[in-house]
Amino acid sequence: MDLYNCNCTLSCFHVYGCGDICNSDYDNVVETQLDSPMPWIGMYIAAASALCSVAMIVDAFSGFRSKKFWLPCKYFSLNAFSLTVLAVAMKLPVDFTSKTLGVNDKLARISSLVFMSTAMGNFMTSLGSMEDYDIVLNLAALGVLVITVAGNVCIHIAQMRVFLDVRNILAEEIGSTVVMLLLLVTLCSSALMVPTAKRYIESGYQELHKRVSNEEVEWGKFTIDELRVVVRRYWLMAEAGSPQFVVGRSSIGVALGSIAPLFRWFIAVQFKCSKLGHRSFKEEFKVETYWTQRLEDWRDSPLRLQIRHHKCRKVVHDAKRLLLNFCIAVQIVIVLASKLVLLISAPCVYGILLCFQCIKNLKSCDSSESRAGTELDFSHYVLLLESEPGLPKEILTNICSEADKLIQKGKKKQPKNIIKLLQRSVNFIGVREFDRGEIGSLHTQELPNCWSLPVVTLTSIAISLPNIENHKIKQLLLRAVSEGLSFVKLIEKTLYSNGELESLRNTADVVWVGVELYKKWHDKDLQVTSPKGITHKEMLQSLSSIAEKTVRDFINGRDDVVMQNPLNWPVKVIAANSMYRITQTILLAHKDDDQLTDEQLFELLSIMISDIIAACLTNLARVITLKCHRNAIKEREESIRQAALLLGESEEILEILQQREIPNLDPGKAANIEDWRACIEAST
């Protein structure tokens, strides 16, 4: 039989080795070949869907764990990555060629549309964490995806409507598509509210901050309880004023088929229950200005287009006003519909909440630890929108309890070793004694001091002393000083955020790495086997000579203008200058004391280190309060979280410092070691 009479291609002949394949057989072969990779494509789509699902589940779990039942978006939010993954998961609904004949095909197609609606519902609160420009771009991208999916579904329905196997899922497809489009409209409606609401909340936060800052604790005059109250106040202000919480508790964002929107709806209804029966019908259906303010601003703003013709400009302006008036009307309808849903839902939910409250009252009272966070009235620190009811007591309690839990979590990590070292110090004299003015300067302009560099230098000297038991060095070096430096560096970073003395702090960091990990300073092994009979004075003189030579060699070899300022010196030179001055100070202080043993000098250095760290840690209360307030709204919650943990970690340290007689120092100068030295010098 002639191959060409069978109308088969040469490629088909080569592949299948049969010359009697007709046209219909060829079509079947082609379709089979094209369908063969579908299982792998299906696995890819399933993986994308699973990734989105896991992210939504993690968000839900995190919300439940922290009792944030509005379930803020952290892992699955509206951004480029999540939209790209969603686009992959939507492969089936946008496929024109799918016949949708099998039961699994139909189920997959419908479930994809429902999954898209679920994802959109979960996106709701993430609008609060975006800037205005990001909201526009991400919503535009989501709109393109949703409209593409909806358009393809409509085309598929139109093309396949005559087939009986497809007609039985038309209602589900149409319903899912309508819900998806409604959710897009709802998201856009909420997005119009977000910028105005954020500005309103931010203004309220700044006003509350002014009020709270007037009541803040003073340096050297504070109690642990006062610091706890400060942390709780700011934590409540940050949580209640969180943009995601503001969006999550609005009357907008009700979606179907998703656990996150369902719980956000419940939170919104719970808010409504707190004022149920206290407002008139007119007040219940009042549309607050922040819902339409952005649209009204656009409507009333002048045209950006440069149209010279007066009548044309007037026509365009009138058309713009007409369009935006229509958008405002749609926005009002959406808001009123949402308010109606909440108003209808509130009595039912109120009954459920009342039953739960009765059951809860029958149980034992809350523990004293839980009551500690709510024994004071914090309700006036809650940031609310216009006409918004106050936080329900349960939510207020949960937020305050979260702050208490963070403090308790930090308390479990209290640094025991630095606490023991601080208890060995009775005053702050070591702040003055580590560096004396009688020591001649190696440069015309002397370097200032920071807190961490003298601590690192003194620790290096203490390790270099001969005849000291190894366990004492480990306790001082690897434990106590390491723990103390973590607090010292935090204080320096917080209070010197403008870069002041940055080179000194950087030097301390670099030197400490060598000392802590290798017990080396300036490439010199601090614990090298000492020659027989060497004394601590000889060891100190050796370190001093190395340091002096390093500084003088650098100064003599440089004459450029930049290096005339010691703050621009390299790390090794700055470290050497500190070592020279401190070793010379110790030698000068004990030059006539021949009876001083290595153990005694080690103890004196330990107390000096303790004095310096203790003086620095008197600034902890100020650091905690500063961390409680951050202007950047994105950083606010995390910063207060760090403040609460820091308060817990440093609670026992603060109690030790409260028992000390702190010098009469201006609070603004308490962060500077040179001001401490001057104050102590003046008082003796």
Q: How far apart are CA 519 and CA 514, in angstroms?
A: 6
Residue 625 Cα distances to 115, 222, 580, angstroms: 45, 11, 37
Across 475-481, average pLDDT: 82
pLDDT recorded at residue 54: 86
82, pLDDT greater than 50: yes
> Angle, nearest 10°, between helix axes 673-683 and 598-617?
110
Q: What pLDDT, on the 0 to 100 scale, is given for residue 394?
A: 74
219: left (phi over 0), alpha (psi -120 to 50) or beta: beta
Q: Which helix (H) or strand (E) holds 332?
A: helix 310-362
305 — alpha (psi -120 to 50), left (phi > 0) or beta? Answer: beta
Q: Is the pLDDT of residue 132 over 80?
A: yes
Vertex 384, ends 379 and 390: CA angle to 5°? 45
563 CB-near residues (< 8 Å, 6+ apart): 569
**How far is 452 from 488, CA to CA, in rounded Å?**
6
CA 131 to chain centre: 16
pTM: 0.77
Question: Tokens representing 421?
Answer: 């070292």
Q: Which of 59, 56, 61 is nearest to 72 (CA)?
A: 59
Q: With contact defined as beta carbons under 8 Å apart, do 627 and 639 qualify? A: yes
Residue 434's nearest CA partner among 658, 671, 598, 615 is 615
pLDDT in tens, 554-573: 888 776 776 778 888 889 99
Q: Please state the length of the chain.
A: 684
Q: Which residues of 508-546 are buried (b: 16+ CB within 10 A; e: fewer)?
A: beebbebbbeebbbbeeebeeebeeeebbbebbeebbeb
3-state secondary structure 478-493: HHHHHHHHHHHHHHHH
pLDDT above 70 coverage of the chain, percent? 77
Give CA–CA dist 196/640, Å, rounded.
Answer: 25
pLDDT of 464 > 50? The answer is yes
- Render 550-582 in DSSP notation, one character per residue: HHHHHHHT---SGGGSGGGS-HHHHHHHHHHHH
**Mean pLDDT calculated for residue range 334-344:** 77
Of the ranges 156-160, 233-237, 371-375, which is most confident? 233-237
**Amino acid making up residue 206:** Q
Q: Which amino acid is at 516?
A: E
* pLDDT tier, 460 (very low <50, low <70, confident <90, very high otherwise): very high
Confidence category of residue 9, pLDDT binned at 50, 70, 90? very low
Residue 365 pLDDT grade (very low, low, confident, very high; cuts 50, 70, 90):
very low
Average pLDDT, integer, range 261-274: 57
pLDDT digits (tens, 9 = 90+) for 603-652: 999 999 999 999 999 999 889 988 888 777 778 888 899 999 999 999 99
Q: Is 279's pLDDT higher than 70?
A: no
- What does the CA dihedral 88, 89, 93, 96 come to, rounded to 10 degrees? 30
Q: Which residue has the tokens 């280190």?
A: 609
Residues 149 and 113 sit within 8 Å (Cβ to Cβ): yes
Best CA proximity match to 121, nearest among 146, 91, 144, 152:
146
| 428 closest CA partner among 244, 612, 283 | 612
